[in-house]
Structure 1
Amino acid sequence: MLYFIPTPIGNLSDISFRSLEILKICEIIICEDTRVCKSLISFLNSKFNVQIKPKKFISLHTHNETQFFKNITLDFFDKNIAYMSDAGMPGISDPGSSLIKYALNHNLSYEVLPGANAALVALVSSGFCKKEFIFMGFLSNKGKERQKDIEKLLNNPYPSIVYESPKRILSLIETIVNLEETREIFIMKEISKKFETKLRANAKDLFEILKNTNLKGEWVVVLKEKDQEEQMNFLCEKDILELDLPLKTKSKLLSKIYGKNSKELYKKLLLSQDGIKY
């Protein structure tokens, strides 16, 4: 059986009793980083006085996925195998999702255990969520793609969650200030650890606070949803197509919405004008 086991995101006691019991019977542990995983297993054995002693640790990450799946056969999964991410819920912004797809494609039995998740802890702590929310994981690192991700983040109709590194958290908030300084934001780091940090303010004030804050640690950022009145004023594709504007202008407006090349959209608009649906 293949088990996907959530790992503590801060406090070792976040591990579940069931997870410990399953880890004791697993012969192989697949993980992002074998050094991190071996260290975690050692801490768990010591703290909870258990005997977790897998015969083998195998790494699976974005750089070796192709080779990993090329080297294994289906009988490999006849054993009890655990997949563990470095921290948190497997499959959420980590390579575990590729292993899930492999199991589904090959009709392999697997089980995902419930457990610690930084995104949900931050969302509930923010007080922004009533029912719906959007999780966007890590944004693009740089360039136009990152700018598009941030603009999309600001236009989401529900509270939105992103993960951010200590190297980019200040620049992320600064970019949001330049686009919408009054947007309410909640940020959190060191979740369930001794020095857990929670901050909530509008983008402008939060940026000033962060300038004098220790930024070390992985951050979870939760943006309050776009104001309903602003959402109602937001143009959609149908609105733009109905405007009495030149096609080139319409294509530029559509490119802003979809992040696509305006010249390609212009060609499609020309085809649609000639009766060819785009």
Structure 2
Amino acid sequence: MLYFIPTPIGNLGDISFRALELLKTCEIFFCEDTRVSKSLLLSLSHKFQIDFKTKKMIAFHTHNEKEILKNLNPEFFSQNVAFLSDAGMPGISDPGYTLADFALKNGIEFEVLPGANAALVALVSSALSEKEFVFIGFLANKGKERIKDIQRALNHPYASIVYESPKRILSLVEQILLIDENREIFAIKEISKKFETKFKGTAKEVFDKLKQANLNGEWVLVISKNYHKLDYNSLLESDILELDIPLKAKSKLLAKINGKNPKEIYAKLLLSQN
């Protein structure tokens, strides 16, 4: 039997009783990082006075998962096997997807336990969505692909959830305000930890707050939905931004599709190039 076990994203107390029981009984662990999993078991052992005994741990991550699955016999899962990502729900911006797919294709019995997930905590905390939302996860790190990812997030008719590192959170919010400074956003860091911190407001307001804040920690950003009716057959702002034409021409085209002042857009485009 294969179990996908969510792990705490901050507070050890977020582990479920069922997860603890399975951590005791499973003989083999697939781990995103065996060092992190060993440290987690040690911490849980101290907190809950549990003897997990020695476990066989196998590294299973994006760099080796295909090779492992290629050589894996489905009979391997006649024993109790657990998969652990470093923190949170397996398969959500973490390894685990390919293992679940392997189990489905090979008739392997498996269960996914409910548990900690940063995206849902951030969404509920933001109060920016009553029902529909889009989970994006991590954006492209840089270049045109990153700008395109941001533009798509801003164009969604649903709230969008983005994961971001402390090194890029400020520049991400700045790029959002350059496109739509009045877009309402919510930023939260260190979910479920001692120094959990929340920021909400327009992109400009949150940017001003973040400039004065300690940015250390893992971030989740929720972007409010685009309330304007979208024509998905039309050009996106990201398409225009990619054109190899003068900034003034870009500004006029952008003004045509978003109804803003071309001079203001031109000034923002100049600023974004500095």
Task: State the TM-score bracket (shorter-chain normalisation).
Answer: 0.7 to 0.9
Residue 236, structure 1, aligned to residue 229, structure 2: no
1:157 & 1:184 partners in 2: Cα distance? 14
Q: Which residue of 2 aligns with 1:270?
A: none
Q: Which residue of 2 aligns with 1:164?
A: 164
CA separation of 1:61/1:260 partners in 2, compared to 1, >3 Å: closer, same or farther? Answer: farther
Q: Which residue of 2 aligns with 1:6?
A: 6
Q: Which residue of 1 aligns with 2:206?
A: 206
Q: CA deviation at 1:236?
A: 3.2
What per-residue deviation string (whole Å, max 9, x for no partner) do you get for residues 118-157 of structure 1? 0000100001111111101111111111111000000010
Matches within 5 A, 1:151-190: 151-190=151-190
Q: CA deviation at 1:71?
A: 2.9
Matches within 5 A, 1:1-278: 1-227=1-227, 231-232=228-229, 234-237=230-233, 253=235
Which segments of 5 or more consecutive residues in structure 2 lack a partner in the other structure?
244-274
Which segments of 5 or more consecutive residues in structure 1 lack a partner in the other structure?
241-252, 262-278
2:54 & 2:89 partners in 1: Cα distance? 20
Q: Please say if residues 30 and 83 of structure 2, whose CA atoms lie closer than 8 Å, have aligned partners that are also in contact.
A: yes
Moved segments of 4+, more than 3 Å: 253-261
What per-residue deviation string (whole Å, max 9, x for no partner) do you get for residues 71-102 of structure 1? 32112111101101100011101111111111
Q: Normalised by the size of structure 2, how large is the TM-score?
A: 0.85
Q: CA deviation at 1:39?
A: 0.2
Q: Normalised by the size of structure 1, how large is the TM-score?
A: 0.83
Percent same amino acid at aligned positions? 60
Q: CA deviation at 1:216?
A: 0.9
Q: Please say if residues 137 and 162 of structure 1, whose CA atoms lie closer than 8 Å, have aligned partners that are also in contact.
A: yes
- Partner of 2:198: helix, strand, or coil? strand
CA separation of 1:191/1:256 partners in 2, compared to 1, >3 Å: closer, same or farther? Answer: closer
2:189 & 2:114 partners in 1: Cα distance? 21
- Partner of 1:119: helix, strand, or coil? helix
Q: CA deviation at 1:46?
A: 1.0
Q: Please say if residues 151 and 237 of structure 2, whose CA atoms lie closer than 8 Å, have aligned partners that are also in contact.
A: no
Q: CA RMSD in A?
A: 2.0
- Partner of 1:77: helix, strand, or coil? helix
Opposite residue 185 of structure 1, the aligned amino acid is I
